[in-house]
Amino acid sequence: MDEFIQDTLVICEKSPIRGEQSSCAIFGEDLIDFVVEKLGKHVSIWSTESIQGSYENVTIGAVKLIHGNFSEPPALCHSQPFPFQVYFCHVLPKVKVYAVDIHARNKVNHAIMACHYDTSTWNPNHIAFQLLGFGPGLIEVCHWINENGIVWTKTLH
């Protein structure tokens, strides 16, 4: 647990990468303030419904683009391991958000996936590059938003 806490402190204290706006929120009000400051008051919220069965063989079903406006980037808030609730929230340019149906044996999970289409300013040692064998700016990186993560998008009215 100590290692997880240290990792959370590093994430919360690091300087944002170029083009990123970030904050760590320990109170619900802080999270809402960050979202309202970055996106305004008219927002939609997205989260993964369940990951039940995710560790077995699954089939990807419907994939729906739910946010693809590069001029209005979403806010991604990731729950961090800590003795109390901490969210690392950030806004990055060129992110699209998808809703994906994942068919497990006895369950259909409705998951949220974020795709980063500009990785040029990312750390070359980022785990995604280590796993995929590429470097900054050479590929886009998509990842699941876990059950404790939240994606906020600006709602057009």
Q: What is the pLDDT of residues 35-89, one digit of tens each?
A: 999 999 999 999 998 887 777 888 999 999 999 999 899 999 999 888 888 899 9
- CB-based contacts of 47, cutoff 8 Å, min separation 6: 112, 145, 147, 149, 150, 151
Amino acid 8: pLDDT: 78
Contact 8, 81 (CB under 8 A): yes
